[in-house]
Structure 1
Amino acid sequence: MASNAKIAVVVAILALLQVSCIAVARRNGKAGPCADDAEGCFDLLAVSRRGDDGGAPAVMTVNGFQRGEEGGPSECDGQYHSDQDLLVALSTRWYANGQRCHKKIRITSNGRSVEATVIDECDSHRGCKDNIVDASKAVWEALGLNTNTGEVPVTWSDV
């Protein structure tokens, strides 16, 4: 029985040390293997911090996925897509080196939710902030939002 108590104390101490190290790293800048936004790194803490609805806080921006609009073809499949489809690009860490390609996420704003498919990366190495859900016009419309607003706070989660 005493050995179980000792194990529990050691586990608790290790957990506290990990939390403390993460807090210090965040306060003093990035640390660890993802310090330089290495490919394949994504912020599990950012995804695990949840808003009131259970989703990760983010900023949603407007993106055009059709040929001739803001970006090039999708990172997931090299194709252009219709802005009438429910589509998003995620910041580099959330895009997770393509691990979320063609998977659905749930986006919530103003008490409404919509499911959209991840098809692209909003490259944080080229100026995209690390908390962006870059969404098609169809996503904005489904949430009852005006695209002229430019950006709105949302939460999102994997479906």
Structure 2
Amino acid sequence: MTVNGFKKGESGGGPSACDGRFHSDGEMIVALSTEWFAGGRRCHRRIRITSAPHGGRAVEATVVDECDSRHGCRHNIVDSSPAVWKALGLDTDVGEVRVTWSDA
């Protein structure tokens, strides 16, 4: 999992693919790599993210965007808002952590 800003001008780039909007860093939201995004079929669906190596905390977040694997995003990434990191008790300065996820 990596950290991403979904507000205008942040690291996420343009508006979210699912709704054409920008989102607050305080929202529990994610962008999934292209294969997992499934052509938008996961838009607005919730996923459960577990940080097993970091105490086993789990949270649910809503899919709002694609992390385009054809343009630089890896094929196995959950790109999440700072709120997701905070809810899992993780430090966003780390930049990347191992997690597991499933459809909620």
TM-score tier by shorter-chain length is over 0.9
Correspondence 1:10-159 to 2 at 5 A: 60-70=1-11, 71-109=13-51, 110=54, 111-159=56-104
Larger Rg: 1
Structure in which a larger fraction of residues adopt helix: 1
> What is the aligned-residue identity percentage?
69
Equivalences, count: 100
1:15 alignment counterpart: none
Q: Which has the higher contact order (CA 8 A, sep 6+)?
A: 2
**Distance in 1 (alpha carbons) for counterparts of 2:14 and 2:2:** 17
Q: CA RMSD in A?
A: 0.4
**Distance in 1 (alpha carbons) for counterparts of 2:93 and 2:25:** 15
Q: Structure 1: which 5+ runs fail to align?
A: 1-59
Deviation (angstroms), 1:142: 0.2
CA-to-aligned-CA distance 1:21-44 (integer Å, 9 cap, x gap): xxxxxxxxxxxxxxxxxxxxxxxx
Deviation (angstroms), 1:95: 0.1
Runs of at least 4 residues of structure 1 off by over 4 A? Answer: none
The normalised TM-score by structure 1 is 0.62
CA-to-aligned-CA distance 1:64-102 (integer Å, 9 cap, x gap): 000111111000010000010000000000000000000
Q: Structure 2: which 5+ runs fail to align?
A: none
The normalised TM-score by structure 2 is 0.95
